[in-house]
Amino acid sequence: MNDRGDIEWSPAGGTPAAWRAGVNADQWLALATTFRNDGARLLALWASDDRACAAYLTGGGLRVAESRVDLGTPEVPSLGDLFPAAARMERAAFDLSGIRVQREDARPWLRHASWPSDFHPLRSGAASPEGFAAASDAYAFVRVAGDGVHEIPVGPVHAGIIEPGHFRFSVVGEKVLRLEERLGYVHKGIERRFRDFNALDAHRLAARVSGDSAVAFSWAYCRALESLAGCEAPARAAWLRGVALELERLANHLGDLGALGNDAGFAFALAQFSRLKEELLRATASAFGQRYLMDFVVPGGVAQDVSVEPGRNLVARLATIDAEVRGMRRIYDDHPGLHDRFSGAGRVEPALAAQLGLTGLAGRASGQRFDLRVDHPFAPYDQAQVRLASDERGDVFARVAVRFEEALESIRLCCAWLDALPSGPIHELLRLPPDDACGYGLIEGWRGPVFVALETGPGGAIRRCHPHDPSWQNWPVLEHAIIGNIVPDFPLMNKSFNLSYSGHDL
């Protein structure tokens, strides 16, 4: 295949259909420009040894471009002007692999002076530094000057159990002029840890990239593994994977809807949605043996079947949750206090959302009508005719509305699949290729597209595994959403996005 000049694309399998190509530095930027002009989405940017890698989702499928660089002068052109979300990914790629990007902002993103500046933990053969004492680094935040302007630093340690992140507000009075984020405070080394696993076992680590997206990440990993093995999960397993993913989506939406009501001073909502989420988790445990389906998706299928009676009980419980969610939505729609807090807060206009690459549920609330389950459906979604939830308002109320719609659609899908599960096995044996191989997995998680790139060697050894959370795309947009709002509304806006710290800090 050759549809981008002289670039030779090789098929890489998977759904959506995937192709892979090597490019030089000039082609790296030219290809990104062409994809941007064609309306493609940048899914992820990362480094693998001496290669810079970028994954794009086009109308025809997934394209992965790789540009080899000389590690003596490791430079590739920046994609940040074309895809703003690439900027932090490029900074992280240098911190981890030493591939430098030609850009003005050379500040570290994940390193935090926790290792020497000339040490890159994902570079092959890199030995752990000895005798290095970690120290606080002087990070150069962007300063805003002017009469009455002052800074409010928040974090990185927060009141609660969320992971650390620093937010630097520049304000006049309580009105926000600028927000600058800094993340990556608990770098876990997950991408390096993947190399210690055999490819058939690493789905368990993938499920722990971001705990609230365990099904999405483990499924994306297994799809990457299955694509390089030339394997498809049996139909019953695919349907059960779909049920698990929608249960995960529903649980997160229920929790967030309650928390958003509580942030607006409506404690009744928190009580009701906490109860509904607990009922859902108990029903999930009765049907599948786990409240959260952390290790449910496995290579080739699923770890556990569901019998008839527990499945019926889960459907019955989902029906009662459906009725109560509809009742709570009427309350939200009619509550003047919620309208006052939600309407207009944290607005991201559709044009800005498109420019910045806002994705997932937050993107759909700002007019970005994109959902992998609809636009690139995979089993069992290819037969489900998923109803796309979207809004044009782009504010907190819009993100709440999308959550309500998606929660009800998740219930509908789960009930339909559980009522008509196909018979047959729930697992297919995988045979890994004997030589080097590469596969990709892409799943619409509850936040947005979850992507995994997997490279293996002989015997199933993992050479490189890059898991990508959609929060990489959406965290920078939060900096724009807060502008012009007041500082006390930030927790509400932040919760309306509910982005992952953990999935960003690998």
C-alpha to C-alpha distance for 166 and 234, rounded to whole angstroms: 45
Looking at residues 449-476, what average pLDDT do you find? Answer: 96
Q: How confident is the model at residue 188 (pLDDT cuts 50, 70, 90)?
A: confident
- Structure tokens, 104: 């003005």
- Top mean pLDDT of 109-123, 144-158, 222-236 is at 222-236
Highest-confidence segment of 120-129, 183-192, 462-471? 462-471
Q: Look at residue 104 in the predicted model and tell me its pLDDT.
A: 81
Q: Which tokens in the block code for residue 80?
A: 């940040």
- Note the pLDDT of residue 461: 95
pLDDT at 88: 95
Q: Among 211, 239, 248, 207, which Cα is nearest to 406's?
A: 248
Q: Name the average pLDDT for the chain.
A: 93
Gap between the Cα atoms of 377 and 15, Å rounded: 8
Tell me how far apart the alpha carbons of residues 68 and 84 are, in angstroms, rounded to a whole number: 22
Give CATH 1.10.645.10 domain extents, the chain. 190-497
- Range with lowest mean pLDDT among 3-12, 196-205, 235-244, 265-274: 3-12
pLDDT in tens, 108-150: 999 888 888 888 899 887 777 777 777 777 889 999 989 999 9
Q: List pLDDT tens digits, range 30-68.
A: 999 999 999 999 999 999 988 999 999 999 899 999 998
Is it the case that residue 346 has pLDDT exceeding 70?
Answer: yes
Q: How confident is the model at residue 155 (pLDDT cuts 50, 70, 90)?
A: confident
If we measure between CA atoms, which residue out of 466, 427, 20 comes closest to residue 226?
A: 427
pLDDT of residue 16: 84
Instruction: Please tell me the class of the 10-102 domain.
Output: alpha beta
Measured at the CA of 137, the angle between CA 136 and CA 143, to 5 degrees, comes to 125
Burial class of 76 by CB neighbour count within 10 A (0 to 12, 13 to 18, 19+): buried
Please give the DSSP secondary-structure letter assigned to residue 422: P
Between 71 and 435, residue with greater pLDDT? 435
459 CB-near residues (< 8 Å, 6+ apart): 198, 432
73 or 223: whose pLDDT is higher?
Answer: 223
**Does CATH number 1.10.645.10 belong to domain 190-497?**
yes
- The answer to whether the bond into 476 is cis (omega within 30° of 0) is no
Question: In this predicted model, what pLDDT tens digit does every residue of 366-380 receive, in sequence order?
Answer: 999 999 999 999 999
Total-model pTM: 0.96
Cα→Cα distances 121→124, 324, 443, 503, Å:
8, 49, 28, 18
Closest CA to 186 of 503, 451, 450, 470: 503
The yes-or-no verdict on residue 1 having pLDDT over 50 is: no
So what's the pLDDT on residue 71?
67
Whether the pLDDT of residue 198 is over 60: the answer is yes
At 3, is the pLDDT very low, low, confident or very high (cuts 50, 70, 90)?
Answer: very low
3-state secondary structure (DSSP) of residue 394: coil
pLDDT digits (tens, 9 = 90+) for 159-170: 777 788 999 999
Cα distance between residue 440 and residue 435, in whole Å: 17
Interval 398-457: pLDDT, tens? 999 999 999 999 999 999 999 999 999 999 999 999 899 999 999 999 999 999 999 999
Decide if 311 contacts 418 (C-beta within 8 A).
Answer: yes
Instruction: Select the more confidently predicted residue: 324 or 15.
Output: 324
Instruction: State residue 74's pLDDT score.
Output: 66
Give 442-503 as a DSSP string.
EEE-SSSEEEEEEEE-GGGBEEEEEEE-THHHHHHHHHHHTTTSBGGGHHHHHHHH---SGG
Residues of the chain with CATH 3.30.460.80: 10-102
Burial tier of 158 (Cβ tally within 10 Å: 0-12, 13-18, 19+)? middle
Residue 4: pLDDT above 80? Answer: no
- DSSP β-ladder status, 75-77 and 100-102: parallel
Other CB atoms closer than 10 Å to residue 342's CB: what's the count?
25
Q: pLDDT value at position 6?
A: 80
**Distance of alpha carbon 486 from alpha carbon 172, whole angstroms:** 10
pLDDT over 50 (residue 182)? yes
- pLDDT recorded at residue 72: 65
